[in-house]
Structure 1
Amino acid sequence: MKKMSRRQFLKGTFGVFAAGVLTAGGGYGYARYLEPHMIETTKHTIKSSLIPHGFDGFKIVQFSDTHLSDYFTLDDFRTVILTINESKPDLIVFTGDIIDNPDTYHNYQAVIPFLRKLQAPFGKICVYGNHDHGGYGTDAYKSLMTSGGFTVFRNAYQKLTLTDGSEIEIAALDDLMLGKPDYEGTLSKLSEKLFSILLVHEPDAALNTKTYPVNLQLSGHTHGGQIQLPFYGPLITPPYGKVYTEGMYQTDDTHIYVNRGLGMTRLPLRFLAKPEITVFTLKSTN
């Protein structure tokens, strides 16, 4: 087990204290009952000379970390489904953690019709998160998502090809915490001549992908910390979500996006970390 640094200890201690103040103060009602339902749709345009003209205007919708539970219910999920379909996506991606506690959640079959209602002409893709493997949920997650019309990507690669011959690449890594991500076996298939998208639950995977031609990485996992303070940012973020915590980052030719997710874990609170659905529009600059 790694030793906690003094900085990490102080930040963790301050985080616990701040969360206690938030809980005890008037902000509790907002963080518990209001913000968790204030779903934002954020929009980004991704420009690259590698994006072929056929994919100009191609729309990808990402949602993540629903953590279905007593706190993020199927009624909340219904709102998510409607919002995503209203965006008219070409492709839908889910970046992990569908259910908070797979070993105690009893509404698996009820989730499937909601997933099936999601519509995108170029399909629906998902990857594993740590909660999807946890609680003996690995096989249950695959069965659930497949029944809902999703293709489950686990250390996988494919080309997405249009009728005019235009191509982009999509790769996906297994969860970093409880899975077995195969960086070399998966990412060595990427070409420097094609625009590539990497789907991986934990954003700090980007620290290990710098030698591969990844143009856009989509991740979740951090929930934006769930609780943030002004001028301070997230109080605590999970392992493999310490460097890239929320929003858009750019390193060299790679865009890294960390979606704040929709549900909650550990504490049923969100403060200055609103739940999020993200819409990406590809733009050719060639």
Structure 2
Amino acid sequence: MKNPSRRRFLKGLFSLSAAGIFASAGGFGYARYLEPRMLETTLIPIKHPLIPKGFDQFRIVQFSDTHLSEYFTVRELLDVIRKVNELQPDLIVFSGDLIDKPHQYRDHEDVVQALAKLSAPYGKFAVYGNHDHGGYGTKVYQSLMASAGFRVLRNDLVNLELIDGSVIELASLDDLMLGRPNYEGVLSRLSKDAFSILLVHEPDAALAAKDYPVNLQISGHTHGGQVQLPLFGPLITPPYGEIYTEGMYDVGGMTVYVNRGIGTTRLPLRFLSKPEVTVFKLEAE
């Protein structure tokens, strides 16, 4: 494991280098106006012996970290929603951080109307991120998502059952930074004989989740660092997103996927960390 103090020092050092990159060759304009709109779709096949035949080719579409604000508007959210629907999801999951500053945001009805356009036959689920709790937004987030047809999970365990009786388990944890995640109370109830998915905003929850029968963890939170440097990686990673920063990991036999999110926070920049929608295609062995 890397030394945290040394890593923070290196991040600070390379942050200075980043300023030089943005200042040259139009880097700032690219990071501010172009890359934040370069939405990518990532297809992740998930093959596992516990996936029932009924769930073969089942498609779970994840989007995350929209951070609605003056820099990412409802109009831009509608473009993401069209993309998600075009992917023909069986299930849609949102892994937190809907609004960047909940205590200042006012376009609530527009958000509800937009999110209500998302459609999946087996439902729409969401978990809390730190920004959803922040700014006294806990009840606001619950209300907005429920009004848009999402089921908001918070330390819950749900069985997804098909017509043929096939079942997979969908677990959730509350936000690690501002919520009250209950690892033992939720994850100890998972069956070792059923394929299980954990939805949790912060990816470093995997450090504890790996000790339970979780097969796939789906997270967001990091934005892939939002700004990366070649050969170095993310300049800044948030708490509970410092170890698993983007993409796929094997953590003690558990698959962890970290989505780079849609919007931005602190600075409206993305560099070498394009926004992302993820499609998980389950495959029965």
Report the TM-score, using the length of structure 1 for normalisation: 0.97
Structure 2 SS opposite 1:31:
helix
Query: Offset of 1:225 from its aligned partner?
Result: 0.3
Aligned to 1:98: 98
Q: Deviations over 1:128-178 (max 9, x none)?
A: 000000000000000000001000000000111111110000000000000
Distance 1:202 1:260 in 2: 12
Question: Contact 2:63 / 2:277 at 8 angstroms: preserved in 1?
Answer: yes
Distance 2:197 2:113 in 1: 28
Question: Contact 2:206 / 2:251 at 8 angstroms: preserved in 1?
Answer: no
Does residue 230 of structure 1 match 2:198?
Answer: no
Structure 1 SS opposite 2:131:
helix
**Percent same amino acid among aligned pairs?**
62
Structure 2 SS opposite 1:111:
helix
Question: Contact 1:216 / 1:256 at 8 angstroms: preserved in 2?
Answer: yes
- AA of the residue aligned to 2:228: Q
Aligned to 1:48: 48
Alignment of 1:155-234 (within 5 A): 155-234=155-234
Aligned to 2:18: 19
Distance 2:47 2:148 in 1: 31
Aligned to 1:57: 57
The size of the alignment, in residue pairs, is 282
Question: Contact 2:18 / 2:229 at 8 angstroms: preserved in 1?
Answer: no
Structure 2 SS opposite 1:146:
helix
Q: Deviations over 1:82-141 (max 9, x none)?
A: 000000000000000000000001111110011110000000000000000000000000
Aligned to 2:256: 256
Question: Contact 1:15 / 1:236 at 8 angstroms: preserved in 2?
Answer: no
Distance 1:113 1:23 in 2: 37
- AA of the residue aligned to 2:217: Q
Gaps of 5+ in 1: none
Aligned to 1:29: 29
Query: Offset of 1:10 from its aligned partner?
Result: 1.4
Does residue 9 of structure 1 match 2:8?
Answer: yes
Post-superposition, which runs of at least 4 consecutive aligned residues in structure 1 deviate over 2 A? 22-25
Distance 2:4 2:263 in 1: 29
Q: Deviations over 1:199-241 (max 9, x none)?
A: 0000000001121000000000000000001111111100000
Gaps of 5+ in 2: none
Question: Contact 1:130 / 1:177 at 8 angstroms: preserved in 2?
Answer: yes
Structure 2 SS opposite 1:278:
strand
Does residue 115 of structure 1 match 2:115?
Answer: yes
Question: Contact 2:55 / 2:283 at 8 angstroms: preserved in 1?
Answer: yes
Structure 2 SS opposite 1:132:
helix
Does residue 70 of structure 1 match 2:49?
Answer: no
Structure 2 SS opposite 1:18:
helix
Question: Contact 2:68 / 2:263 at 8 angstroms: preserved in 1?
Answer: yes
Structure 1 residues 15 and 136, CA, compared in 2 at 3 Å: closer, same or farther?
farther
- AA of the residue aligned to 2:224: G
Aligned to 2:136: 136
Distance 2:59 2:75 in 1: 26
Higher mean C-alpha displacement, 6-15 vs 22-31: 6-15
RMSD between superposed Cα atoms in Å? 1.1
Query: Offset of 1:12 from its aligned partner?
Result: 2.9
Query: Offset of 1:254 from its aligned partner?
Result: 1.1
Distance 2:205 2:212 in 1: 12
Question: Contact 2:200 / 2:217 at 8 angstroms: preserved in 1?
Answer: yes
Query: Offset of 1:5 from its aligned partner?
Result: 4.5
